[in-house]
Structure 1
């Protein structure tokens, strides 16, 4: 019974998570249209790729016991596809210096992933120890990204406007974190439960701030103010899909 419920919860979490992975699509449509990345940074997508790869490996049967985390593996596989697509588009339209930086960073995270895969496969010989090793790395990666959604909260409190913190994005991020938390609890998996519990807290904070400041009258903004906020929140949004979906 518990296993069946966990499968259903995992499917729901995966569906919402895939929707969140599509959040940056509009940003990259603009990049393609303008044939330029401007001052836009690719680093958040590189970090998101590393997170998806790490958690995807965690859900793979070599680390997990059989396909107990099939939903996690499937979701992260979709995430890897999206993040790689975004990065390839960025490289295509970026100037030479930025291309070199992105290629270097992607090569670095792939090298780190190879070390993680090799070490967890050949050094540890039980699923429990492999999950401890890979799961701990996943938690550190996930927790390091939770400052990103707080950028949106900071801007809302600074401008007293919720214009740049969409309600439904915050809501679906919270719902996804809740689903993955429940998924982890049902599977008695602390490596999935812990980071998503923190995600629930940041999601609740965003909704509380939204409710408070949505009643405020939006102050006038200059074009420069709007451009600055959009630039900062593009970084937050690119990581929020990962925060909501990581686990």
Structure 2
């Protein structure tokens, strides 16, 4: 923690540490999804796109932090993000069916190997040293802004269905806090490439929380009493299955932009889109990723 704090710019250090703590929690948000995957020994149709994109985003910000120097908060949280997202992808590859596994490997090689290697090569061999921070910062900014459309998909779903079922309030709240922390970190370090993406992240977070209160539906489902022991067993099994699916779908739809949340999160984890993801099991709803 000492490496993250500097008396030269204490406010930047404070918000950098705060951003690390909140983003740490956001990165761990998909754990319920992968506990379900481990328990069921199946990915059940979940998409790996948010995790592949989140890994790419973290790698980009690490490269930016290394080139810029004196960016310990960016390096620490994105290094943690790389480890976590890699673990998610590995577990996905273990339990996904062959077709989904091949798609995941293809997207990983294309984005995290080919595209990232190209960016590194261009930065090192073609861009003069004085311009590297500007070029890499512009790439990170463009990538983060591009994924801003990710939260739009879940917002449209909420408005269309008039239900906030697939937009957990806690996730939107922490993503908004993360955007605020990283915005002030960028502001105090005079880093426009960190500041700008999180302006959008803040407003998207506020919009999501507002929609949640507009469309949330308190539990009002009628209680149907079973008429036999068999009915009771069926009802209990159905309720347990519905609860498991709801948790998994909420977790899948929440990640990151994930997403993906490091510095440009609601853009990053997020996900990074306009890549719309299928969330949940067979239900063809769309989710968002979180990003930094």
Secondary structure of the residue that 1:39 maps to in structure 2? coil
Structure 1 residue 51 corresponds to structure 2 residue 57: yes
1:104 CA displacement: 1.7
Residue 41 (structure 2) aligned to one of 35, 40, 54: 35
Residue 19 (structure 1) aligned to one of 25, 29, 40: 25
C-alpha change, 1:166 and 1:32, in structure 2 (3 Å) is same
Aligned positions of 1:83-122 closer than 5 A? 83-109=85-111, 110-122=113-125
1:145 CA displacement: 2.0
Gaps of 5+ in 1: none
1:234 CA displacement: 4.9
Moved over 3 A (4+): 216-220, 225-236
1:217 CA displacement: 5.7
2: CA distance between counterparts of 1:97 and 1:157? 33
The count of aligned residue pairs is: 241
Q: Tell me whether 77-86 or 35-44 shows the greater mean CA deviation.
A: 35-44
1: CA distance between counterparts of 2:142 and 2:155? 22
Indicate if the aligned counterparts of 1:151 and 1:236 stay in contact, CA closer than 8 A. Answer: no
Indicate if the aligned counterparts of 1:161 and 1:219 stay in contact, CA closer than 8 A. Answer: no
Secondary structure of the residue that 2:104 maps to in structure 1? helix
TM-score (norm 2): 0.74
Alpha-carbon RMSD: 2.7
Residue number in structure 1 paired with 2:224: none
Structure with bigger gyration radius: 2
Indicate if the aligned counterparts of 1:181 and 1:197 stay in contact, CA closer than 8 A. Answer: yes
Residue 188 (structure 1) aligned to one of 190, 196, 206: 190
1:153 CA displacement: 2.3
Indicate if the aligned counterparts of 1:54 and 1:138 stay in contact, CA closer than 8 A. Answer: yes
TM-score (norm 1): 0.86
C-alpha change, 1:243 and 1:219, in structure 2 (3 Å) is farther
Gaps of 5+ in 2: 1-6, 222-238, 265-292
Indicate if the aligned counterparts of 1:148 and 1:235 stay in contact, CA closer than 8 A. Answer: no
